[in-house]
């Protein structure tokens, strides 16, 4: 089965082979903007190729604020 995956998205999949990474870390590793990486990880997540999750912290007023967005391959991809 061959998938036509754009270069940036394939690079993200390659980087995630070792585990999960923050989107900001992916941007640094791939020498790309955070915006470009966010678009790419959202496209990969929409196709079910990766999972995205946010780590948050609680503010003094009780609201939650996102701290980092992480990407990882789904568990069925792990060896």
List pLDDT tens digits, range 35-54.
999 999 999 999 999 999 98
Which of these, 9, 17, 24, lies nearest to 55 by C-alpha position?
24
| Least-confidence region, from 1-10, 34-43, 65-74 | 1-10
pTM across the whole model? 0.78
- Please, what are the domains in the chain? 7-74 (1.10.10.10)
pLDDT digits (tens, 9 = 90+) for 20-39: 899 999 999 999 999 999 99
Q: Rounded CA gap, 30 and 47, in Å?
A: 21
What is the layout of strands, in order, in the sheet containing 51-58? 21-22, 64-72, 51-58
CA dihedral 55, 76, 16, 71 (to 10 degrees): -20
| Amino acid 78: pLDDT | 45
């Amino acid at each position: 089965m061959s998938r036509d995956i754009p270069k940036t998205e394939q690079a993200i999949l390659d980087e995630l082979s070792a585990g999960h990474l923050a989107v900001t870390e992916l941007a640094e590793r791939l020498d790309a903007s955070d915006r470009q990486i966010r678009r790419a990880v959202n496209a990969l997540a929409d196709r079910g190729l990766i999972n995205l999750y946010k780590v948050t912290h609680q503010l003094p007023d009780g609201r939650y604020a996102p701290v980092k967005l992480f990407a990882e391959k789904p568990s069925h991809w792990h060896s």
